[in-house]
Chains A and B, each alone.
Chain A
Amino acid sequence: MSPHDLTLQVIQQVFNGVSLGSIYALIALGYTMVYGIIRLINFAHGDIFMVGAFAGYFATAVYKLSFFPALVLAMVVAALTGVTIEFFAYRPIRKAGRISALITAIGVSFLLENAGLLILKPDPRAFPEVIPLTVYNVGGLIVNNRQVLILAVTFGLMFLLQWIVRYTKIGKAMRAVANDRDAAHLMGIDVNQVITVTFALGSALAAAAGVLVGIVYNRIDPLMGIMPGLKAFVAAVLGGIGIIPGAMIGGFVMGIVEVLVVAFISSGWKDAAAFVALIIILLVRPVGLLGRNVGEKV
């Protein structure tokens, strides 16, 4: 392989990794936001991603919506699902301790998966082709419009989230609750409302990831949330759980590491690599990549 080909391949693989990583990043954001606010690892989050993918599927396949309306609808459906779950499953036991909440989250995850198998059937479905594929060849680098779309939507949503957290009143309240829940409560912030909004935002981002996966990979099934959910959780921890920019960086690092391992070590090591990366990070920097930065906790 000539040096030029090698460079091209590295660039191609990194690009593949970035598009894969943006999916992880979108899901990781939900994990990290919920953790930041109520110190709960919401294990049902991967399944919210699945709910979003199916909402997008029904919006496009049954109601014939185009991409953006379907995306928005899926985000709304998932946000409502997330808020409902929080209200019925997590809120009643909020004072019962973190282990109870964690186990409830695992229970909700199983509930969503098995309800999905029952109602939606285990057979994988083909996601409708709402965006016709165009493949571009940029000096040997193969890029397609769907990958560009993934990146555009991901970055757009990330900026939107940053804006909400930094510059809106509710964002300010979220930061306050993340910092010190009791003090925020004493200052007159409606903590329950903040938690609801956090779940809604996190779930909506996961749903966006679900719809993007549906469009790019074209196959969805009720158990599709398990592996991406797990990897996104790793990404969130890797970046420093509770820290928003950490989840973004963690997601991209995960995607790129996975792809580079396949490219230059062995495809058999792909899944192992992500978890090895996690172990190394936890050994070297237990707080995650951005852990020591004071970055706003949400």
Chain B
Amino acid sequence: MVKKAVGLFLILFLLGGLSALAAEKVVKVGVVYEQTGNVATFGQSAVNATKMAAEEINAKGGIKGVGRIELVIEDNKSDAAESANAYNKLIFKDKVVGILGPVTSTNTLAAGPIAQQAGIPVITPTSTNPRVTQVGDYIFRACFIDPFQGRVMAVFAAKELKFKRVAVMPEVTSDYAMGLCQFFKENFEKLGGKVVAEEKFSTGDQDFSAQLTKIKATNPDAIYVGSYYNDVALISRQARQLGINVPLIGGDGFDSPKLFEIGKEAVVGHYFTNHYSPDDQDPVTQKFVKAYKAKYGQTPDALAALGYDAANLLFDAIRRAGKADPKAIRDALAKTKGFKGVSGSITFDENRNPVKAAVILQVQKDGSQKFVKKVQP
């Protein structure tokens, strides 16, 4: 009898111990972002949003059946070699089940092969270069890729703005810009539009008057500029000085406060495609914007939105996999369908690129960006 009682007690004790262990189970997720260096603000926004996403899940007791999320955060100093080092540490020392980041294509391309070889799933929030996910079947991204941006603007220009004649200005020294312009051109011509001029320039050019004079003679409805905000601002100003008063249109490279700071009134009226807008009235987006503002005291930028989506995509896959196993998580991630993200509904295609909406923004007189339209793929 006593023996039986002791046995029962022991069993109860063991069970209790097990359940206590179960409550403490954690799942380690690696985070590698550019928190210092050249593109520091990108990484800082992404880290803030990732922390917020993890806290929200943990406040609900973690991922059901798998455990609480523990973030292991590394700074890659905006450097490709540091990104690879961080990946090695996270995978072989911390034994994480998945990695978020980095934000830029170059850094993700440098580190990606390590995770691919080790079989650890990766989600990068904003590496838009098509080559990034071609590293292997463990690499995913939360953003659309450049060919899609080019197409969205082509459709918007042709169908909504009813533009017939558009001039194209690619920055020949940038893969990003060349890709954008090529896809814009192809799609715009397919829709019956005419690309009336293609005038190239190089990184660091200051004077665009020759190209613009030539473009002016072709009398376009708009100029599609494949480049980043700095050059876009300069081109806008010189276009106005030459008496060209049509808007410039382009991709997410336009998105910076510097665009208006340098371009002033010359950039007002420009349209560009972007990943997300804080003015999007979608309830998921609005909930995120409110929570982020309350926590960090600023309006989340596109990097924060995509960092948040990348984190939640991974957490969602862990939940569906039901275990902290990298292979199972990868498989679950690949099957992601209609995930409700802040930057729109996300479904991965066979190349692990999300099929998702883009927003079109327009620069306003006070330098703010007006949300014009959300374009579904």
Contact = CB atoms under 8 A, between A and B. Distances in A.
23 contacts: A12-B213, A13-B210, A13-B214, A16-B207, A16-B210, A126-B233, A126-B258, A126-B261, A133-B241, A135-B240, A137-B243, A142-B243, A219-B262, A227-B206, A228-B206, A258-B210, A262-B211, A263-B214, A266-B200, A267-B200, A268-B172, A270-B201, A270-B202
A262 B262 contact: no
Given A9-B213, A122-B38, 7 more contacts: A5-B217, A16-B209, A123-B258, A218-B234, A219-B262, A223-B204, A267-B201
A213 interface: yes
B262 A218 contact: yes
B199 A262 contact: yes
A118 interface: no
Q: Which of B209, B234, B238 is packed against the most chain A CB atoms within 10 Å?
A: B209
Given A126-B261, A217-B206, A16 B213 contact: yes
A219 B233 contact: yes
Interface residues of B, number: 30
Nearest to A126: B262
Nearest to B218: A1
A45 interface: no
Given A263-B213, A271-B202, A217 B242 contact: no
A192 interface: no
A20 B207 contact: yes
Interface string B64-91: 0000000000000000000000000000
Contacts of A12: 213
B230 interface: yes
Interface string B179-217: 000000000000000000001111011110111011011
B207 to A, nearest CB: 5
A146 interface: yes
Nearest to A258: B210
Nearest to A268: B200
A107 interface: no
A182 interface: no
A129 interface: yes
A124 interface: yes
A13 B213 CA distance: 7
A263 B210 contact: yes
Contacts of A263: 210, 213-214
B118 to A, nearest CB: 35
A124 B258 contact: yes
Contacts of A1: 217
A135 B213 CA distance: 14
A268 B169 CA distance: 11
A263 to B, nearest CB: 6
Nearest to B217: A9
A219 B206 contact: yes
Contacts of B202: 270-271
A129 B240 CA distance: 15
Contacts of B207: 16, 20, 217
A270 B213 CA distance: 15
B262 A124 contact: yes
Interface in B212-243: 213-214, 216-217, 230, 233-234, 237-238, 240-243
A35 B199 CA distance: 37
B234 A217 contact: yes
Nearest to B209: A16
B51 interface: no
A55 to B, nearest CB: 18
Nearest to B242: A142
Contacts of B240: 133, 135
A188 B211 CA distance: 54
A267 B230 contact: no
A224 interface: yes
B374 interface: no
B220 to A, nearest CB: 15
The 6 closest A-B pairs by CB, nearest first: A262-B210, A16-B209, A259-B210, A126-B262, A267-B200, A267-B199
A258 B209 CA distance: 11
A288 interface: no
Contacts of A226: 204
A144 interface: yes
